[in-house]
């Protein structure tokens, strides 16, 4: 009888253990919280990356636009253009920004855009050809071409790329006040 009594007691305890649900919520919480945190921080980082990408596009357009409004530019003008455009990046860091402004000439015979002058982080050699969208290749015209790249490093690297994401954009504008933008004192149109 003692064997049967022990069996009944074990079955009774097992039934009570199965019926006890007091730790289920804590266990579910322990499994769900890490996933929810990853999703939350991933969303924050993704939104920040989109904001920085938009700022990179605005910076490229601003550089091209400011340069194309001038008839002549010099070193001090370029410094001012770069300073004004990096202000767009606020509140994000400006140290990973690389920006270049280049004037291109579309040759009437070859229909290729070649570099007239270039200033900035990744200067292009004078006379080299640059790929330009076909719609912008108008014979005998000039283009102001700006390039901006940015290395976006997420605050929390485990959610997105740890090494960073390369963002970049380009912008093309035609000179507005003259046929070309003369870079003083080194080039002529």
pLDDT of residue 189: 66
* Total structural domains within the chain: 1
Q: Mean pLDDT for each 10-residue chunk of the chain (189 residues)?
A: 71 72 76 89 88 95 93 90 89 88 92 92 91 90 94 73 83 91 76
Instruction: Identify the domain containing residue 58 by its residue range.
Output: 2-183
pTM over 0.75: yes
Interatomic CA distance for residues 23 and 32, integer angstroms: 14
State residue 56's pLDDT score: 95
**Residue 121 falls within a domain, yes or no?**
yes
pLDDT of residue 93: 85
**Domain contains 122:** yes
Q: Which segments of 20-155 does DSSP mark as H helices, in order?
A: 24-68, 75-86
- Does residue 189 lie in a domain region? no
Would 21 be classed as within a structural domain?
yes
Q: 138 in a domain, yes or no?
A: yes
In a domain, 188, yes or no: no
Closest CA to 82 of 64, 103, 57: 64
């Amino acid at each position: 009888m003692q064997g049967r009594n022990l069996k009944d007691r074990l079955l009774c305890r097992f039934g009570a253990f199965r019926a006890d649900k007091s730790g289920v919520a804590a266990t579910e919480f322990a499994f769900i919280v890490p996933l929810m945190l990853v999703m939350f921080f991933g969303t924050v980082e993704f939104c920040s990356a989109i904001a920085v990408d938009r700022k990179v596009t605005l910076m490229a357009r601003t550089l091209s636009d400011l340069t194309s409004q001038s008839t002549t530019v010099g070193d001090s003008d370029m410094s001012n253009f770069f300073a004004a455009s990096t202000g767009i990046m606020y509140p994000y860091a400006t140290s990973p920004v690389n920006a270049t402004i280049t004037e291109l000439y579309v040759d009437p015979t070859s229909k290729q855009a070649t570099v007239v002058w270039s200033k900035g982080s990744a200067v292009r050699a004078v006379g080299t050809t640059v790929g330009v969208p076909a719609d912008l290749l108008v014979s005998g015209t000039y283009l102001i071409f700006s390039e901006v790249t940015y290395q976006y490093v997420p605050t929390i690297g485990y959610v997105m790329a740890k090494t960073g994401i390369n963002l970049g954009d380009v912008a093309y504008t035609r000179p507005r006040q003259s046929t070309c933008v003369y870079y003083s004192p080194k080039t002529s149109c």
